[in-house]
Structure 1
């Protein structure tokens, strides 16, 4: 069972790291078009596989968020639902960082 868990973890690491490369490419292409226009934070579908779909979002301060969704699920999410998830995640992140008791670099956990 541990071997299966570590195989899945490696698969996720690979998927997320590959997606981050796509995020960098999209940021550079947007940056070259208009340097001051970063209003569109949602990057869309980054990396589809047979098992998962990976979506990306970048904040104005270059913080990158990645959401991995199962492709085989019966529920297909629309772009506006994914955008909404990212906006809520971004808002929660901002609230956490603005907390005076948060230590920068500390692992983020949910209570």
Structure 2
């Protein structure tokens, strides 16, 4: 189940964060900010003409997994999923555009 959805600007400022569980919101925001570092690393090591915008699994803890998508204008989308009862594999999770 998706616990949180976040939109982050190209300047890495959070524009929208929606969380289902207010008690875990601070932990989830930390995981999103940690994921931004992985996105920046993937964008620096990637080709200039990057065709694959879905970045896949960015950050994982024992309870949560963070998946990311970046647009060609560098706006980032994150989904935090509860991994304690996750039945899907990492390669089966895709963003539908």
**Fold shared per TM-score above 0.5:** yes
1: distance between equivalents of 2:53 and 2:79? 14
Q: Partner of 1:26 in structure 2?
A: 42
* Unaligned segments of structure 1, at least 5 residues: 89-111
Q: What is the CA distance between 1:75 and its match in structure 2?
A: 2.1
Between structure 1 and structure 2, the one with the greater Rg is 1
Output the aligned Cα RMSD: 1.8
* Unaligned segments of structure 2, at least 5 residues: 1-20
TM, length-normalised to structure 1: 0.61
> What secondary structure is seen at the aligned counterpart in 2 of 1:87?
coil
Q: Partner of 2:69 in structure 1?
A: 57
Q: Partner of 2:27 in structure 1?
A: 11
1: distance between equivalents of 2:73 and 2:86? 35
TM, length-normalised to structure 2: 0.69
> What secondary structure is seen at the aligned counterpart in 2 of 1:39?
coil
Deviations 1:23-60 (A, max 9, x none): 11111111xxx32x211111111101000111111111
Structure with the larger strand share: 2
